[in-house]
Amino acid sequence: MTTILDAVPDDDELGVPAARLRSAELERQIHERPGRFRALTGDRPTGRLHLGHYFGTLHNRVRLQNLGVDMMVLVADYQVLTDRDVADRLAEHVEDLVLDYLAVGVDPDRATVFTHSAVPALNQLLLPFLSLVSVAELGRNPTVKDEIAHSTQSAVSGLMFTYPVHQAADILFCKAGLVPVGQDQLPHLEVARTVARRFNSRYGPVFPEPEALLSAAPLLLGTDGGKMSKSRGNAIALAATADETARMIRGAKTDADRHVTYDPVARPEVSSLVLLAALCLDRDPHEVAGEIGGRGAAALKAVVTDAVNDYFAPIRARRAELALDRAHIRRVLRDGNEWANAIADDTLKEVREAMKALY
């Protein structure tokens, strides 16, 4: 019998090779006609974003925005509750998240930054959407299974099971055709595609089927050698000072081999540090490792510290400047929420018309 904690499917089962091929084609189309695309992306406001977020998603968002893609950037405040009992320090975390967005280059004149809780029509879509998926389908979702396995809650809430359908509402309310994701998020996107397909079949054509834009996001480990995470204390925040960054990197896990090489399989911790330096220096990681060679972990950490602090100095300076004007952050959210509400209201009206639920 299938249980909620069954193993996550492998790449082929999730359709990763096909998604990679389709992403390459989408990239070509984006460069030719970026204005025909709308993308939806976002984060939960559970703490400050870190370097893994920057190289994994934020840098790509700014790239797409600058190409001319219509970017919808969600601050998923309701989804904070999926794996915790209370939304602790929520207002602070929301503002910190927006500060990080603006500091890295998200432009509110070209991207819509908005919050879940401020867009009622988006959340109302969750009700008809839930009728389009079965409990068994939700239980089989590998991302949900992984989130449950790492949850700190004593009991799994219903919100955890509906999480993929809520994400479908996030994507479909604005009829986003593109969703930049890592391959671990492909199952969530497939739920959104399924919901769109089934709604259109049952009630009439309203929603496009969103497509994954797989990022070639580099895998950066936390300083303890585990998955980089806001909650595990092993990540360097975008807002960290130069001294905080140096202290975190000095304490990063390496290995006993003094000769530095780039081998992510055999030497994941050392290779993650090499990769971080290479990303900041815009260089090949094998070259960076080769230059350090036999000088050991201390030399590697010194190179990484300098590279990170030099790369992020202007971003951190911009963030510090923006933090002096909290009213500006609230204006960005107010304007973004206003536009997101207009879109959501129009979509909900279409849904109610298709369902013949206008009275």
C-alpha dist (Å) from residue 344 to 83, 152, 182, 333, 337: 26, 33, 26, 16, 10
Distance separating alpha carbons of residues 65 and 74, to the nearest angstrom: 14
pLDDT at 296: 94
Element (H, E) at 335: helix 326-354
pLDDT at 303 over 50: yes
Please indicate whether the domains covering 16-219+325-355 and 240-324 agree at the CATH topology level: no
Fold of 240-324: Tyrosyl-Transfer RNA Synthetase (1.10.240)
pLDDT digits (tens, 9 = 90+) for 31-70: 999 999 999 999 999 888 999 999 989 999 999 999 999 9
DSSP state of 178: E
Instruction: Note the pLDDT of residue 5.
Output: 27
Q: What is residue 150's predicted lDDT score, i.e. its pLDDT? A: 67
CATH (residue range 16-219+325-355): 3.40.50.620
**In sequence order, which residues have a C-beta less than 8 Å from that of residue 142 and are 6 or more positions away?**
8, 9, 14, 187
Q: What are the tokens at 211?
A: 């497509």
State residue 12's pLDDT score: 45
Domain range list for the chain: 16-219+325-355, 240-324
Q: How many CA atoms lie within 13 A of 207 on its CB side?
A: 32
Instruction: Give mean pLDDT, residues 76-104.
Output: 88
Cβ distance 357 to 89 under 8 Å?
no
What mean pLDDT do residues 264-282 have?
95
Residue 1: pLDDT band (50, 70, 90) is very low
Cα–Cα distance, 166 to 124 (Å, whole number): 10
| Chain mean pLDDT for the chain | 90
pLDDT at 152: 64
pLDDT at residue 10 is higher than 70: no
pLDDT at res. 218: 79
What 3-state DSSP class applies to 152?
coil
Q: How confident is the model at residue 4 (pLDDT cuts 50, 70, 90)?
A: very low
d(CA 359, CA 356): 8
Query: pLDDT tens digits, residue range 194-214?
Result: 999 999 999 999 999 999 998
pLDDT at 310 over 70: yes
User: How far does CA 191 lie from the centroid of its chain?
Assistant: 17
Residue 151 banded pLDDT, cuts 50, 70, 90: low
Burial class (CB in 10 A: 0-12, 13-18, 19+), 201: exposed
pTM above 0.85, yes or no: yes
